[in-house]
Amino acid sequence: MRSLTLPVLALAAAAAAAVNAQSASGNSSSAATQGGKVVKLCDNQTTVRVPNGTPKTRAAGEKISAALMAQWEAKHPGNTWVSEELQAHTVVPPDDNLRLVGSGQRSTYGSPSLEEVRLWNNETYKFAVYGSTVFHSGAELGSEIAVSCDMCHPNAANTHPETYPKFQPQLGRVVLLRDMINWCIEHPVRGKVLDPDDPKMRALEAYILAQRKGTALDYGKR
């Protein structure tokens, strides 16, 4: 895997100074004493303290995320997967199902027309694209600090949806993908936990799964 690009490293360095990034030795109560709040990375170990009054803007959120990632990279040299995913918000398209047109599956779907198959494809793709919109927006996620999922997981990298359900130490139990999404919304993002059937949760799951299209299922893998 390639290393972080120079702009990202520069942003991480600037972020560390901007938000006074440091490994938290205490908990959120000690942060309150110092002023601000402790924000956790998805590993439940890497933290930064965000001062009160930090602007609720995407730029400020990116600095917080970059400070977290700078610490994580320092502790995990050689695991720099981020640069491989720093691209536009590309959403992997679903299967086009064109092979079904006029060919069968009559017992389940009848004999689908080209228009029907295109409708299936378009609606499925729109759903994943909406998930991308939520994934890339601190506002959509209700973040208190303008952090969004993509700041630590560009293009849904390193989310491994194909490995769920599995035991997740952060939650102390076997969880589904949506459980881990909510944990991340609650902690790194500092947003509003979503109901399992919330359209945003369903769309987030669709987007994350779409980005791993073609990956074999391997539930329980760590």
- Using the CB atoms, write b or e for 134-143: b if 16+ within 10 Å: bbbbbebbeb
What CATH number matches the domain at 6-87+131-210, 1.10.3720.10, 2.60.40.10, 3.40.50.300, 1.10.760.10?
A: 1.10.760.10
- pTM for the structure as a whole: 0.66
CA distance 143 to 137: 9
pLDDT in tens, 87-137: 556 889 999 988 888 776 554 667 788 888 888 998 999 999 999 999 999
pLDDT in tens, 54-82: 888 888 887 887 888 788 778 777 665 55
